[in-house]
Amino acid sequence: EWAILIHKKLPFIFKEQITDCEGRYVLVRGLLYGQEFSLLNIYVPNEDCPKFMTDKITLFSQYTSDFGIIPGDFNCCMDSNLDKSSMLTPNIDRTLSVATREAGLVDVWKEFNPTSKDYTFYSARHKTYSRLDFFLLP
């Protein structure tokens, strides 16, 4: 089950929620300060699945009119040169980069830290670091 917590003092008016049966995402839509607002919280499968990524970004684009945000664990990197300590680049990495660019989404952290290397995950099995978690905004 998914949960998105919204502080009770935030003037958010809930309109709609869309989820999948596997618990991979939840899309919440509503009004925030009088503007349409969409939030798509996402947990991408830990496998090479480019279609999942493009389908969810398309879903977000269809349900976002004024403003939205996609936070989540994408289980892939946006820029392998900066976001990985090894250079393996599965298809989903390229898919995320292309899909976000086509949808007009940016990785907020990277906007403020364009040349920085920092990581959100360590794989003991592969002895590699990766940045897999993003906040994407239009």
Q: Specify binding-site residues for Mg(2+).
A: 73, 75
Is 86 within 8 Å of 104 (Cβ atoms)?
no
Residues contributing to the annotated binding site: 73, 75
39 Cβ contact list (under 8 Å, min separation 6): 4, 27, 28, 29, 68, 69, 70, 71
Between CA 138 and CA 102 the distance in angstroms is 11
Instruction: Please name the amino acid found at residue 6.
Output: I
